[in-house]
Amino acid sequence: MAKSSFDMCDMDMKGYLSFLMLWMLSKRAMSGSQLADELALRRGGARPNPGTIYPALKVLRVRRAVVVRIEGRQKVYRLTEYGQEELDRSVQRFCKIFYDVFNQE
């Protein structure tokens, strides 16, 4: 039987990118490159490209969920108070949606 070309384990995390970035920035301030490295670890080595990371960070900046400061030649992103509130709401929504998936008996 031929293997399906679709593998759930290889699903792109695109829909969760902003959520994951907010969560990671709630732990510590990071540059876009550091965020990409952390995401690569979570995705099993597939490092997202700058064309994925930086547009998402721009949206988070426009929404005032993160602020950026220049440190040397790097832009370092930090979660704002509003960003933390947005993350808290997203975590609640995520738990509500996926509760049954993680609490199977």
Domain residue spans in the chain?
17-102
pLDDT of residue 1: 46
Give me the sheet containing 74-79, strands edge to edge. Answer: 30-31, 74-79, 66-71
Answer yes or no: are the C-beta atoms of 52 and 15 closer than 8 Å: no
Average pLDDT of each block of 10 consecutive residues along the chain (105 residues)?
49 74 97 95 87 94 97 96 95 86 75
Which CATH class, in words, describes the domain spanning 17-102? mainly alpha
**Strand ranges (DSSP E) for 26-94?**
30-31, 66-71, 74-79
pTM strictly above 0.85: no
- Alpha carbon distance 104, 12 (integer Å): 24
